[in-house]
Structure 1
Amino acid sequence: MRQTVGSLRRGPGDPSFMTDASGSIWRATRTSSGLATLRLTQLPEGRVRAEGWGPGAGDVVAQAPELVGERDDTSDFDPILDVLRDAHRRNPGLRIPRTAAVFEALVPAILEQKVITLQAHASWRHLLNRFGEVAPGPTPRPMRVSPTPEVWAVVPVWEWHRAGVDPRRSATISHAARFASRIDEAARMSPADAAARLTHFPGVGPWTAAEVAQRALGDADAVSVGDYHLANYVGHALAGRDMTDDEMLEALAPWAGHRYRVIRLLGAAGLRGRPRRGPRMEFVDHRAR
């Protein structure tokens, strides 16, 4: 459960996500019925208990099976390589989650564009603590629900600045927020149509669309092309060398339909990829500009 749903967490201090001392996962979200908090508890024999609080409690409990990977079909997945076969066997519960909350997944994905992960997570925490709403229910610590699209659309320039978000990313979020209902329609589309819908919006490219698809749409084939590290990670994990994005896609071609699953399994297998001796992305403090 933690392997599957844990991919939704945006850093260890994510105000909308936490794991308590017992191992239960808490997730604060927004549904068509209103705010909701979901608690997922792993039970014996692969079962999961879902409990909800708030006006949207019924919605999040109903969505819980997809959240823990019920729709993720591995029946036609052939690991091919021994390392993947072993990882798949050792991690039988690793599934691709589906929240169906497309705009909710889009905002943090935009925040993660072209910056280091720690910086994006810090921006996410600041913005949720500043503009999010208090999550309902007996949460182990105070939690926050991501703001409504209407709020995202009008976040003041100085607040983006305080959060360390540059004008390009803030403008992308503000513009997308005005079309959130159109963006959320992608949950009912094919993967290709969903990607086309998302990349229609300025500032949303293939990388961002894939990051959203991996979480909101349960797309086991979505590859984050354009990622600063991913091509080299896959290249070293599969072939012991650096790769371009095109070479990575060629290397992953035998697993068409499950390329993102393969990437997750390589990580689960403990493969470290490229040795860390090359240049790294720098922390850029936009607040100083």
Structure 2
Amino acid sequence: MHTETDFDACVRAVQSKDARFDGWFFTAVLTTRIYCRPSCPVVPPKVQNMTFYPSAAAAQQAGFRACKRCRPDASPGSPQWNERADLVARAMRLISDGVVDREGVPGLATRLGYSSRQIQRQLLAELGAGPLALARAQRAQTARLLIETTALPMADIAFAAGFASVRTFNDTVRQVFALSPGDLRARVAKGRPAAATGTLSLRLPFRKPLTPDNLFGHLAATAVPGVEEWRAGAYRRTLRLPHGTGIVALRPEPDHIACQLWLTDWRDLSQAISRCRRLLDLDADPLAVDALLSADPVLAPLVAKAPGRRVPRVTDGPEFAVRAVLGQQISTAAARTHAGRLVTAYGEPVADPGGGLTHLFPEPEALAGLDPAALAMPQTRRDTLAALVQALGSGELDLDVGSDWQQARARLNALPGFGPWTVESIAMRALGDPDAFLPTDLGVRNAARELGMPATPAALVKHSAAWSPWRAYATQYLWATGDHPINVLPTEGTSR
């Protein structure tokens, strides 16, 4: 926070303990050498003792340790990294997905198509920390979770959190939290049961408000048999992760999302959490979104009725692209059937300790041997699927978390059978573009007509210009006016 205006705005947020700004910036106290989230419950420090950092990593690099009361490492992430499409945002999405830990800074640079020096310079300029420091802050957060919620030996936690040695793990935990790993574990309330081997239960924070019905309803209604299910009030799905496989159960609660993870390799913990947050759009800034959309008198009543709608996204971009093609011009039920057959034939089997999940969704490489003639769909759609699988498998098409949104759109548009609906569906849910819009979608057009808005695609695009850059969220409000299972939170015990 470099300008006087920014400084004053941050001070006001801290003095009012405004949770809306948690994750946007961090308050460091010069006298105590502690950094906090803006909503920290302790008495705010004197203004002359405050300084502000745009990332926890920058505060840690400057020698501040995390507050033990407000736990700034557990605040929601900055919404910027999922809203923006520039180099810094793409880098942050990849760092969150563990690319620096797995491939180093050169691997991050290769993914982004820039030099390591360019990435270092831009991250330092905006966030006050380079990629190694940002990845270190994430490792520290992962280590804290494992220390406090599992009975794993400390050496195993060091390895699982991505540290090169136990010594580095010990030093980092002490520097960031001002406690040894053993002291951190001892602070946990006595009697709290430790997680069983391979399982972890935690809370995923979000910025309020959050309306869960269309978010979880959409995921449950479109669930692919064997890969996803709704069970006992939770959405469950399998995860393909860098070091192994996982299964997650996500349940909406009033002030958090309850998350239970089964992992075959603890090294995948931070990536699994990052993908679940992305899936549920938990780092969104709903007040900013709803404020702009409410300026449209037609949308205003919809926003007031159910504020904080999120965009249901995905844990795997290529998976969603394949599913989008399978679902072209057919019903939700038919699309699920097609996808289920593909999973049974080409998916990797998994064991589910807590439900009825059976497979991972097949990777593009596994689908390379697919015989399109075996699919009960028109020849043109078979050709579209074959072209998509080839482009994904060759690396020509990148739908990963750090992909360039406009470049991905251009390459999708160049494939046979990819029209505006399919491309924008992928942009909205797989790429995460908050301004993706589907003017040709039947549900969107029906809602527009019922609400008295222009219903032809061209006129609707013109009308939607006022909703930018949040047209993906406007789409959720329009869809929610319809009578469709995607808009309804499944009842307890329902299995889809």
Match of 2:438 among 218, 224, 240: 224
Inter-CA distance 62–187: structure 2 relative to 1 (3 Å threshold): closer
Residue 230 of structure 1, CA deviation: 4.1
Q: Is the Cα contact below 8 Å between 2:448 and 2:478 reproduced in 1? A: no
Equivalent in the alignment of 2:131: none
Does residue 1:166 correspond to 2:378, yes or no? yes
1:80 aligned onto 2:295: yes
Q: SS of 2:320's equivalent?
A: helix
Establish whether residue 29 from structure 1 lines up as the match of residue 239 from structure 2.
yes
Q: Shift in Å at residue 102 of structure 1?
A: 1.7
Match of residue 416 from structure 2:
202
Name which of 138, 149, 152 aligns with 2:367: 152
**Residue 217 of structure 2 corresponds to residue 3 of structure 1:** no
1:254: Cα distance to partner? 1.3
Cα distance change on mapping 1:251 and 1:44 into 2, 3 Å: closer
In the alignment, the residues of structure 2 paired with residue 144 and residue 69 of structure 1 have an alpha-carbon distance, to the nearest angstrom, of 24
TM-score by length of 1: 0.78
Q: Residues 27 and 2 (structure 1 numbering): CA distance in 2 closer, same or farther, change over 3 Å?
A: farther
Question: Are residues 1:14 and 2:225 paired?
Answer: yes
Structure 1 residues 184, 129: CA separation in 2 closer, same or farther (over 3 Å shift)? same
State the shift of 1:151 in Å: 1.9
Structure 2: 5+ residue stretches without partners: 1-211, 484-496
Conservation of the 8 A alpha-carbon contact between 1:8 and 1:215: no
Name the aligned partner's letter for residue 239 of structure 1.
Answer: G
Residues in 2 aligned to 1:193 and 1:234: alpha-carbon distance in whole angstroms: 31
The C-alpha deviation readout for 1:236-262, integer Å capped at 9, x for no partner, is 133167x22101112222111112211
Give 1:111 shift: 1.0
Partner in structure 2 of residue 279 of structure 1 = none
AA of the residue aligned to 1:251: H
TM-score (normalised: structure 2)? 0.48
- Return the offset for 1:12: 5.6
Seq. identity, %: 23
Asked if the contact 1:198–1:209 (Cα under 8 Å) also holds between the matched residues in 2, the reply is: yes
Whether the 8 Å contact between 1:34 and 1:54 is mirrored in structure 2 is: yes
Aligned length: 266
How do residues 238-249 of structure 1 correspond to structure 2 at under 5 angstroms? 238-239=451-452, 243-249=455-461
Identify the residue that residue 178 of structure 2 maps to in structure 1: none
Counterpart code for 1:248: L
TM superposition shift of 1:44:
4.1
CA spacing shift, 1:147–1:207, aligned 2, 3 Å: same
User: Secondary structure of the residue that 1:184 maps to in structure 2?
Assistant: coil
Unaligned 5+ segments in structure 1 are 273-289
**Once superposed, what is the RMSD of the aligned Cα atoms?**
2.9
Contact 1:220–1:261 (CA<8 Å) still a contact in 2? yes
Q: Deviation at 1:139?
A: 3.8
- Map 1:76-115; keep pairs closer than 5 Å: 76-77=288-289, 78=292, 79-82=294-297, 84-99=299-314, 101-115=316-330
Q: Alpha-carbon deviation of 1:107?
A: 0.3
Q: CA deviation at 1:37?
A: 1.7
1:284 maps to which residue?
none
Q: Post-superposition shift, 1:66? A: 2.0
Q: Is the 8 A contact 1:220 1:260 kept in 2?
A: yes
Please say if residues 234 and 263 of structure 1, whose CA atoms lie closer than 8 Å, have aligned partners that are also in contact: no
Kept in 1: contact 2:239–2:245 (CA 8 A): yes
Supply the AA of the counterpart residue of 2:424: A
Query: What is the CA-CA distance between 1:108 and the residue it aligns to?
Result: 0.8
Residues 97/221 of structure 1: CA separation in 2 closer, same or farther (3 Å cut): same
Question: What letter is aligned with 1:11?
Answer: T
Deviation at 1:133, TM superposition (A): 2.2
Superposed displacement of residue 110, structure 1: 0.6
Q: In the TM superposition, what whole-angstrom CA distance separates every residue of 1:113-146 from its partner, at most 9, and x where no partner exists?
A: 2334333222112221222222343241133221
